[in-house]
Amino acid sequence: MTNAEELICRTRELLKEHPPAGTARLDFLRARFDAGLAWVHYPEGLGGLDAPRSLQAVVDAELEAAGAPDNDPRRIGIGLGMAAPTILRYGTREQRQRYLRPLWTGEEVWCQLFSEPGAGSDLAALGTRAVREDGSSSGTGGAGGGGDWVVNGQKVWTSSAHLARWAILITRTDPDVPKHQGITYFICDMTDPGVEVRPLRQITGEAEFNEVFLTGVRIPDSRRLGAIGDGWRVAQTTLMNERVSIGGMRLPREGGMIGPVARTWRERPGLRTHDLHQRLLKLWVEAEVSRFTAERLRQQLAAGQPGYEGSGMKLAFARLNQEISGLEVELRGEEGLLYDDWTMRRPELVDFTGRDAGYRYLRSKGNSIEGGTSEVLLNIVAERVLGLPPEPRTDKDVAWKDLAR
Amino acid sequence: MTDLLYSEEEEALRAAVRDLLTDHCAPADVIVRTESDAPHDVRLWKTLADGMGLAGLLVPEELGGQGATHREAAVVLEELGRAVAPVPYLTSAVVATEALLECGAGDLLAELASGTTIGVLAVGLHTAPGAGFPVVRLEGGALHGELTAIADATVADVLLVPADDGGLYAVPASATTITAQVSLDLTRPVAHVALEGVRGAHRLGDAEPAVRRALHAAAGLLASEQLGVADWALTETVRYLKERKQFNRPVGGFQALKHRLAQLWLEVVSLRAAARAAADALATGEDTDITVVVAQAYAAPVAVRVTEEALQLHGGIGMTWEHPVHLYLKRAKADSIAYGTAGTHREALAGLTGLQAP
Ligand SMILES: Cc1cc2nc3c(=O)[nH]c(=O)nc-3n(C[C@H](O)[C@H](O)[C@H](O)COP(=O)(O)OP(=O)(O)OC[C@H]3O[C@@H](n4cnc5c(N)ncnc54)[C@H](O)[C@@H]3O)c2cc1C
C-alpha cells in the first residue's frame, strides 16, 4: 500500500511535528514508532505500515540526514533481531501490543534464555522444567487449566541478562515425549523473584554474558508464546532470525572490521610488510564480497524470495572478523603486545568493532560459537540447502526422560 | 543501490539459453569435439547468434544489436560457463564488441552483432586491463609481427590488431597465418597469429582506450562465467555424492564431506553476489573500477577451488578423460589467468583504495 514518496512525506511530517533538536530522545523514538516508521514492514499500529521491507532504507536515510536519534540497535540486538520477529509471528494481540513498542525504543532490553549447561548445540535436549501450577499441565495441546507455570532450571551464556527486563525462554513441559516435542516457549520477566543472574567473566576480561538460575519462577500462561509443546517450532523462528541479524547487517564499504585495519595501514606506512599486504588485500576483497552477499540476501528477503544465505552470512561474518582482527594485532607489532583494559565490567553493549585490536581479536572468537557454532551451521547448510543426508541419530524416537545424560 | 537479483526477463533469458545448451551442448559431445580439428562448435554459435540474437546483446539497436546491458550478457555467460560451451561469445560478443564500441566502428559492429562475423581482439588472453600489450609493426603501410595466446583466433573472421603507431586495425583472418597452440583449456583454445606484411588493413581508432575498455568489461563479466563453472561443479558433486555409496551409506552423508560442500556453497553464493555486482556496475557505470577488480580477485580462486574439490570428491572417476569435470577444471584454471590473475587485480585494488604496498 505504501510507496517511497508516501514514506518520505510521512517521515518529514514526523520531523516537523517532533524536531529532533528540540525533542527528547525517547519522545522522538516513541513518536516515530507510533507513526509507523520504526520498522515499516511491521503491521500498522505495531510500529509499521505493512510496507515492503526494502523501503526502510528510504526512511532511515531521511531521518539520518535530519540528525534524528536512532534506537541504538547494537544495544538491543536480541530484542530487535530475535524476540521481535518471534512475537510478531506467534504472539497474541495483547502480547504484540504490550512488548513491541518498548522493545523497539530500547526502553526494555531483552535477553535469550535458550542455552543450558547440558544443551548448547543440541538445544532441544534442554532440561529447564516448566510445570503448570495445578499439576495438570504436562499434557500437550489445549489451553486448559489456567494456573501459572512454575519454572526451575539453569541457563548459561545469557548475553545482557544483567540489563534485561524480559527474556525469551524455552522450557521442557513434557518429558514423556521425544525431545523436540515437549518444549514450550515463554516470555520471562527478569525482575521476578526466583530469577538470579550471575556474571560469567569472559576471555576479554569483562562479563557480557551470565549464568541464570531459575528457581520457582512463576510465569502466567498469558506469557506463553505459541501452543504448549510447540516451542521448538517457535524457537526456529528465533534462531533463523538470529543468524540473519548477526551476519546480514547493512554496512558501507570498509564499514566492518576491515575499516580500522585499512586505516591503520594507510596512516602508518612504517608497519607495512609484504606478507601483511597480501593478507590485507585478500581480506579486503572478501569483506567487500561479503558486503555484496549480505546486500543480496536483503534484496531477496525484500522481494519475498526465500534465502538460505542467512546461515551462510553468519559463517562468513565469523571467519572474516576473526581473520581480520588477527591480522590487525600482528600489523600493530609492538603495540600488538598490549591490551587496552582487562577490568572486569558488565558492559551495556556487545561491541564487535569498538575498542582496540586485541579486544576485537578476542571478542571475535565468540562469533563462530554464539548463535549456533560454525560446525552446526555447516550441517544446516549441507542438509537443508544442499539436501545431503542427515547425521545418523539415536535420539529421535526416544522420550526426553529416557535419553542418556 | 546496486541491484543484485535477477529480473524476470533475465531469468527468462537464462531459461532459453539453458534449454538450448541442454539440447545442443552435452558434455560428452564437447569432449569428443575437443579432440577433433575443430574444437569450436560453430553450429551452436550460429544458433545462439541467429536464433537468439545473443551476439548483439551489447550492441545498440540502431546498429543491429539488442541494446541490452552487461547484466544480460552476464546471465548468458553464466550459462555458457555452466556448459563449458566452446563458442566465441566472450571473445567476440563481449571483448571485440567493446573495443569496436569504443572506436565507433558501426559497420563491423553490426556484422559482429548479427553473428555472421566472428571478431577477436588480438591481445593475449592473459593480459590484465590496464597492463601493457604487444603490438605489431606498421612499416610502409603494411603490418608485420607475431602475437601469441590469442583466444578463439582459429574461428575468427576478423582480428582487431594493435599496432605500434597507437592504432587498432581490423585485419581479415585470411590475411594472417593462424596456428592453434596446444592449450590447457580445450574449450577456449589460444592461437599464434603471424602477420607477414598485411596491406590495406582498416584503422579503427586508438588502440589504448579500446583495449582498456574491452579488457575491463571482459574481467568484470568473466566472473559470471566463473560463477557458471563453479555452480556446475558444486551442483554435480552434490548430486554424485548423494548417490555414490561407500561403507554402506551415501558418502555425501559423512560430515567431513558435508562441511566441505557447505563451505563451497558459501563461496559460490558469495561469488554470485560479486559477479552480479560487477555486471550491474558495468551496466550502470557506477563504482565500476573497484567492483570489477573485487569480482575478479574473488572469482578466480573460488572457481579453481570448487572445480578442484569436485575432482577430488569424485574419486577415480574424476581423474578420467570421459568424465567432464576436467573440462571445468581446465576452464577454471585458464580463467584464473585470463584478463589478469587474482594477484594482479589485488594490486590494482591497492592502487584504487590507497592500500599501497610497503
Ligand atoms: C559470546 C556468546 C554469547 C552467547 N549468548 C547467548 C545468549 O544470549 N543466549 C543463549 O541462549 N545462548 C548464548 N550463547 C550460547 C551459544 O549459543 C552456545 O554456546 C552454542 O550454541 C554452542 O553450544 P555449547 O557452548 O554448549 O557447545 P557444544 O554444543 O558443547 O559444542 C562443543 C563443540 O562441538 C561442536 N559440535 C557440537 N555438535 C556438533 C555436531 N552435530 N557436529 C559437529 N560439531 C558439533 C561445536 O561446534 C563445538 O565446537 C552465547 C555464546 C557465546 C560464545
Burial A114-144 (b: 16+ CB within 10 A, else e): bbbeebbeebbbbbbbbbbeeeebbeeeeee
Atom of ligand 1 nearest to the CA of A155: 11
**Domain B209-353 classification at class level:** mainly alpha
Alpha carbon of A238 to ligand 1 centroid (Å): 16
Q: Which CATH number fits domain A248-385: 3.40.50.2000, 1.10.10.10, 3.20.20.70, 1.20.140.10?
A: 1.20.140.10
Q: What is the pLDDT of residue A248?
A: 75
Q: Can you list the positions of beta strands (E) in A204-349?
A: 209-219, 224-225
Q: Which of A62, A242, A309, A328 is catalytic?
A: A242
pLDDT at A40 over 50: yes
Are A134 and A123 a contacting pair, CB within 8 Å?
no
Q: What is the mean pLDDT of residues B311-319?
A: 97
Closest listed residue to residue B96, CA positions, set B210, B186, B226, B225: B210
* pLDDT tens digits, A257-285: 999 999 999 999 999 999 999 999 999 99
Give yes or no for A302 touching B (CB within 8 A).
Answer: no
Q: Which fold has domain B8-117?
A: Butyryl-Coa Dehydrogenase, subunit A; domain 1 (1.10.540)
ipTM summary value: 0.95
* pLDDT tens digits, B26-71: 999 999 999 998 999 999 999 999 889 999 999 999 999 999 999 9
Q: What is the pLDDT of residue A404?
A: 84
Give yes or no for A61 touching B (CB within 8 A).
Answer: no
Q: Structural domain boundaries of chain A? A: 4-70, 79-229, 248-385
* pLDDT tens digits, A91-127: 999 999 999 999 999 999 999 999 999 999 999 999 9
Q: What is the pLDDT of residue A49?
A: 96
- Number of other CB atoms surrounding residue B244 within 10 Å: 14
Q: What is the mean pLDDT of residues B127-140?
A: 97
- Number of other CB atoms surrounding residue A227 within 10 Å: 16
* pLDDT tens digits, B144-159: 999 999 999 999 999 9
Residue with the smallest CA separation from ligand 1 atom 16 is: A370
For chain A positions 114-173, those within 8 Å of chain B (CB to CB) are none
Residues of B in contact with A289 (CB under 8 A): 270-271, 273-274, 294-295, 298
Q: What is the mean pLDDT of residues B305-318?
A: 98
- Number of other CB atoms surrounding residue B95 within 10 Å: 29
What is the enclosing helix (H) or strand (E) of B189? none
What rounded mean pLDDT belongs to chain B? Answer: 97
Are A280 and A327 a contacting pair, CB within 8 Å?
yes
Residues of A in contact with B294 (CB under 8 A): 285, 288-289
**Contact criterion met (CB < 8 Å) for A312 and B269:** yes
Q: What is the mean pLDDT of residues A69-85?
A: 91
Helix (H, G, I), strand (E, B) or coil at B56: helix
* pLDDT tens digits, B220-267: 999 999 999 999 999 999 999 999 999 999 999 999 999 999 999 999
**Contact criterion met (CB < 8 Å) for B290 and A288:** yes
Backbone angles phi, psi at B320, to 5 degrees: -85, 160
- Number of other CB atoms surrounding residue B357 within 10 Å: 12
Q: What is the pLDDT of residue A75?
A: 85
Q: What is the pLDDT of residue B165?
A: 98
pLDDT at A299 over 80: yes
**Contact criterion met (CB < 8 Å) for B355 and A265:** yes
Quickly list DSSP for A327-383: HHHHHTGGGGG--S-------SS--SSSS-HHHHHHHHGGGGTTTS-HHHHHHHIII
Alpha carbon of A181 to ligand 1 centroid (Å): 21
- Thinking of the domain B137-207, which architecture would CATH place it in? Beta Barrel (2.40)
Q: What is the pLDDT of residue B174?
A: 98
Q: What is the pLDDT of residue B42?
A: 95
* pLDDT tens digits, B281-302: 999 999 999 999 999 999 999 9
Q: Global pTM?
A: 0.94
pLDDT at A83 over 60: yes
Are B334 and B188 a contacting pair, CB within 8 Å?
yes
Q: What is the mean pLDDT of residues A52-74?
A: 91
Q: What is the pLDDT of residue A306?
A: 65
Q: What is the pLDDT of residue A136?
A: 52
Helix (H, G, I), strand (E, B) or coil at A307: coil
Helix (H, G, I), strand (E, B) or coil at A131: strand
What residues line ligand 1, using a CB cutoff of 6 Å? Answer: A 111-112, 114-115, 120-121, 157-159, 209, 366, 369-370, 372-373, 375-376, 379
Contacts of B204 (CB under 8 A, 6+ apart): B99, B100, B103, B105, B108, B160, B167, B168, B169, B170, B210
* pLDDT tens digits, B156-177: 999 999 999 999 999 999 999 9
Q: Structural domain boundaries of chain B? A: 8-117, 137-207, 209-353
**Contact criterion met (CB < 8 Å) for B238 and A387:** yes
pLDDT band at A250 (very low <50, low <70, confident <90, very high): confident
Range with lowest mean pLDDT among A71-80, A274-283, B184-193: A71-80
Q: How far apart are CA B107 and CA B96, in angstroms?
A: 13
Chain B residues interacting with chain A (CB cutoff of 8 angstroms): 1-5, 238, 241-242, 249-250, 252-253, 255, 257-259, 261-263, 265-266, 269-274, 276-277, 290, 294-295, 297-298, 346-347, 349-350, 353-358
Helix (H, G, I), strand (E, B) or coil at A28: helix
Contacts of B172 (CB under 8 A, 6+ apart): B157, B158, B159
Contacts of B261 (CB under 8 A, 6+ apart): A382, A386, A388, B234, B237, B238, B241, B252, B313
Please indicate whether residue A116 is annotated as part of the active site: no
**Contact criterion met (CB < 8 Å) for B253 and A390:** yes
Alpha carbon of A109 to ligand 1 centroid (Å): 23
Q: How far apart are CA B276 and CA B339, in angstroms?
A: 18
Q: What is the mean pLDDT of residues B189-205?
A: 97
Contacts of B288 (CB under 8 A, 6+ apart): B216, B220, B281, B282
Residue type, B258: K
What share of chain A has pLDDT > 70, as a percent? 96
What is the enclosing helix (H) or strand (E) of A117? none
What share of chain A has pLDDT > 90, as a percent? 82
What rounded mean pLDDT belongs to chain A? Answer: 93
**Contact criterion met (CB < 8 Å) for B357 and A288:** no
pLDDT at A139 over 70: no
Alpha carbon of A106 to ligand 1 centroid (Å): 27
Alpha carbon of A370 to ligand 1 centroid (Å): 6
For domain A79-229, give the CATH number.
2.40.110.10
pLDDT at A144 over 70: no
pLDDT band at A241 (very low <50, low <70, confident <90, very high): confident
Are A378 and A253 a contacting pair, CB within 8 Å?
no
Q: What is the mean pLDDT of residues B315-320?
A: 97
